[in-house]
Structure 1
């Protein structure tokens, strides 16, 4: 039986088995009642529109999007998305002040506490613990329930990443790194780049050789200053020092004691290098004033050689470069450190993405039906549709039952316009998902499939990996050790309006006030500005913040060991 017929049977079976309750989640924009979930007497529920706020910039899928249409056909459910425009904090503040929300919110950790403290989300543990009616969700999160509970004992957010099934594979870095254009590495014969000095030396040589790229001024390095994505400005020093991504603290792996580092010597070392690079004309001054969309546009132009960021955050630029055929202007990670005695730890084992994922709001009229939808979408057949697509259209199956794509299919996957019509990325990004391998041995996503990964790369990417003697992007990094039990510290809950929250905000304010000035200052003014920056930190109750984080680490070390 063809896969599409098999999927239809499964879909219909799921619909009948779920017996969705009879209520709607919204009124339509005209003020008229949307068709509710009242049964029409024929056994099928009426159309339900789920409103969803996605806490990142985005573009609505096409109305005839192929995957959303299949969801609608199976469950009589459709989605209406809203995305971040401008500062995420402003939009969150507006929602929490008014107390009116969409049905579901795709949350990222930075804004999670603000929503929770405002009472915006409903508890979800009753669904997760219900093995009989929600077996997929129970199997997915049940053993992790202590890790995903908020401090008040409730589960409000379903983590979107970090729950693995079957074999784990890690072919790419979707997290933090220093990134550099493939063209720069190729130009100089794919040299070994180990340190921060190596990185900027190479960029400087390339800028000197090619002051323009496609008629645009070559930009050596860019620093995004966006409060909702503050890691691009603040977090690099910890990685250069060989620490994993614990956010704005470094945790001593022997004592498990956390310490704020943004005003310490390791940060001074990094920002002094950026100051030097700025005064050498390598750092883009516009990076300190442009917004996120403009940042992506700059990267997508192909004129920016390097950056520090998390891959998932800027990947739209990589996709745009691919679509333009500028394959050698795409970015590869270089896991640099301060000196060669330090082992890089950019790549980590998959961690539970606590406080990031979908939450159901108090405004949703039918959370049961929404949760049953998420339960159904965790089925392997739906996961294959969401991650691989449709057999024969988006992927093929070899004689051994392994999934793969041909060149045309791979090309389509790199097109933002094609994806808006043929993938359900916004739903999938924040929804519970399978990671690892399916029961038939296939990787859950194409990027993790051994026979698909390398063939799916562009020729410049293949050439680069071959030159460095590796087969995957992940192999450019040191093999990560096991994650510390508490990891990551950045996801430790900090209650809104608490002293630690106030100190955290004060430190962010200082970073955004001082660090751009420090980077752009004349070399002669660096030391005095840095001294002022440190002095301002000494006036804060940083000990209270560190105490809270360390208590959270110890609590996790105890509770997560159970």
Structure 2
């Protein structure tokens, strides 16, 4: 391998910060114990098919060092490199595993190390970025196709779950796309406000408009003051996908025109009609005028403080958290949620399918790629997933019929998060609790949490193109900023809807959008 290749990657890592949004996942330590035995902990993203994953090499001779560089997850416990789960993995594969964890989402540190002369054996970075593409282009990682035999979980993850991640037929790493086929975001409202006003959770756009007007103008909290607003969101431009979908938007990434050509979604009639509806709500003062200054915490605080009655929010494990925070100031308050409002033809949607996530690969410098592949295969399997979720049977848990009974005292001695949550190796690289719909049996409001996933998945729209193209990676952030500013300009009355869209179309194409559309068209045509 030539040093100049690594120098080029180092320049890339230093010149651009990699951003990965995991807010919708919101992984923090949970609160309860117990889970059904026999469940596939990684759900649709692991697909081990119930097969026990055994090592394909004999555990003989001196243990082989394997170093894994990953970003880990903020919800995980600090890893004890010599805890009993690590010992079990080392014994199972005759390896000496060392896991180097940089702070969550700090991909720049991973990219810098990949530019060095001391590559790890296994590396986890951000999927679909310029930096990880350079790993492939510059031969820093190996193809996994030659390691499928006898490794069913690895093969299934790649060939059946993420077949489109191959490049020229080669799989260069294992993706984990956050919210690829699951979601947890819904529009939450104050149920007590709805009750006070004699209203139901809105089912249609007309219902939604009426509720927002009532939340703003009809004193929903009964304090005799005109101090409430219907809806808030977060910077930069908010999530108004519910409006675009209600007017017929089919995909939240791109669209096809009548001739089958790829166009940006803002050039569809659905976007024009949707943003026109949102502008109507804005002009009626039902939308928080400062929402574009909100981060997630500020948005939630306005909801908890009784300033607004509705907001989009990630639920799942957070149902209890949001409702409990709301009750701190308003003990009688309660939470309402449901499907986003439907349009005239019954269409609805809210969450896009994920395109970003993690990418775990075996590097070209790995001296024992078969053992590295065995380890990855096992972690992806049901058996490996259960080891990281529950621990070692007889030590960290026992079985009571079809239930798993966790021994929290023993789990606390190793690297498990408290109250039924997983070992630190389980977090972030290959799966998160949301993607597996995993909740300990006694999680507060467990049934409601699982219900929110079912609803949110119904409101998730697929992508026109599953994976980011190289042009999207290169120009995506700048193009997104143009879109965000246009939405803000339209709402604030700086431009009309038609003027804003026309100007955006021109600037978007001039700043890389033309290349993006060409790549996307090629991807769409290749699927025909």
**1:383 aligns to 2:395 (yes or no):** no
Q: TM-score, normalised by structure 2?
A: 0.64
Instruction: Return closer, same or farther for 1:433/1:460 CA change in 2, 3 Å cut-off.
Output: closer
Please give the alpha-carbon distance, in whole angstroms, between the structure 2 residues aligned to 1:212 and 1:427.
Answer: 47
Where structure 1 has 5 or more consecutive residues not aligned to the other structure, the ranges are: 7-12, 21-38, 165-169, 410-416, 437-443, 463-470, 558-562
The answer as to 2:341 corresponding to 1:336 is yes
1:202 is aligned, of 208, 211, 216, to 211
Question: What is residue 412 of structure 2 aligned with on the other side?
Answer: none
Q: What corresponds to 2:463 in structure 1? A: 488
Contact 2:53–2:153, Cα closer than 8 Å, also in 1: no
Q: CA RMSD in A?
A: 5.4
User: How far apart in 2 are the matches of 1:72 and 1:279?
Assistant: 62
Q: In the aligned structure 2, how far is the partner of 1:297 from the partner of 1:105?
A: 34
Partner of 1:107: 126
1:514 aligned residue: 486
Q: Of the candidates 112, 136, 155, which is equivalent to residue 153 of structure 2?
A: 136
Distance in 2, Cα, partners of 1:379 & 1:503:
36
Offset at residue 389 of structure 1 (A): 6.7
Q: 1:440 — aligned with what?
A: none
Give the secondary structure class of the aligned counterpart of 2:148: coil
Per-residue deviation at 1:288?
1.7
Query: 1:458 and 2:445 equivalent?
Result: yes
Report if the CA contact (8 A) 2:232-2:310 is conserved. yes
1:283 to 284, 287, 290: 287
1:290 and 1:81, CA in 2 relative to 1: closer, same or farther beyond 3 A? farther
2 CA distance for matches of 1:395 and 1:489?
Answer: 44
Q: Secondary structure at the match of 2:337?
A: strand
Deviation digits for residues 267-298 of structure 1, max 9, x if unmatched?
Answer: 33333443443444443344323445655666
- Give the deviation of 1:106 after TM superposition: 4.6
Contact 2:140 2:364 in 1 (8 A): no
Q: Does 1:549 align with 2:527?
A: no
Query: Which residue matches 1:24?
Result: none
58 and 490 in structure 1: CA distance in 2 versus 1, 3 angstrom threshold: farther
TM superposition shift of 1:247: 3.2
Which runs of no fewer than 5 residues in structure 2 stay unpaired?
1-34, 39-51, 91-95, 409-415
Q: Which moved more, 1:503-512 or 1:354-363?
A: 354-363
For residues 433 and 49 of structure 1, the distance between their equivalents in structure 2, rounded to whole angstroms, comes to: 22
SS of residue in 1 equivalent to 2:348: coil
Q: Distance in 1 between matches of 2:467 and 2:187?
A: 25
- In 1, Cα distance between the equivalents of 2:305 and 2:57? 48
Q: Kindly tell me: are residues 45 and 238 of structure 1, through their superposed partners in 2, closer, same or farther at Cα, counting changes over 3 Å? A: same
Superposed, which structure 2 residues align to 1:417-496 within 5 Å? 419=418, 422-424=421-423, 427-431=426-430, 445-446=437-438, 458=445, 461=448, 472-473=451-452, 488-496=463-471
**Higher RCO (Cα < 8 Å, 6 or more apart):** 2
The equivalent of 1:31 in structure 2 is none
Secondary structure at the residue paired with 2:496?
Answer: helix
1:240 to 246, 253, 263: 246
Deviation at 1:381, TM superposition (A): 2.5
1:212–1:505 Cα change, 3 Å: farther
User: Could you tell me how far 1:149 is from its partner in structure 2?
Assistant: 0.5
SS of 2:526's equivalent in the other structure is: helix
Partner of 2:32: none
Greater CA drift, 501-510 or 92-101 = 92-101
Alignment of 1:394-405 (within 5 A): 401=402, 403=403
Q: Equivalent residue for 1:321?
A: 322
Contact 2:69 2:100 in 1 (8 A): yes
Following superposition of structure 1 onto structure 2, how do residues 70-469 of structure 1 map, counting pairs within 5 Å? Answer: 70-75=85-90, 77=97, 79-83=99-103, 92=108, 95=111, 99=115, 104-109=123-128, 112-117=129-134, 119=136, 122-123=140-141, 125-126=143-144, 129-132=147-150, 134-143=151-160, 146-150=163-167, 152-160=168-176, 174-175=183-184, 177-184=186-193, 191=200, 193-207=202-216, 208-210=218-220, 220-225=230-235, 232-233=238-239, 235-244=241-250, 246-251=251-256, 257-291=261-295, 305-308=309-312, 311=314, 318=319, 320-321=321-322, 324=325, 326=327, 332-337=337-342, 339-344=343-348, 356-360=357-361, 362=363, 368=369, 369-387=371-389, 401=402, 403=403, 419=418, 422-424=421-423, 427-431=426-430, 445-446=437-438, 458=445, 461=448
Deviation at 1:121, TM superposition (A): 7.9
TM-fit CA distance, 1:80: 4.1
Secondary structure of the residue that 1:288 maps to in structure 2?
helix
Counterpart contact for 2:316–2:453, Cα < 8 Å: no
Matches of 1:212 and 1:360, distance apart in 2:
57
Asked if the contact 2:183–2:457 (Cα under 8 Å) also holds between the matched residues in 1, the reply is: no
Aligned-partner SS, 1:489? coil
Contact 1:163 1:434 survives alignment (8 Å): no
Paired with 2:133 and 2:290, the residues of 1 have a C-alpha distance of 35
**Aligned positions, number:** 452
Q: Which residue of 2 aligns with 1:414?
A: none
Judge conservation of contact 2:125–2:360 (CA < 8 Å) in 1. Answer: yes
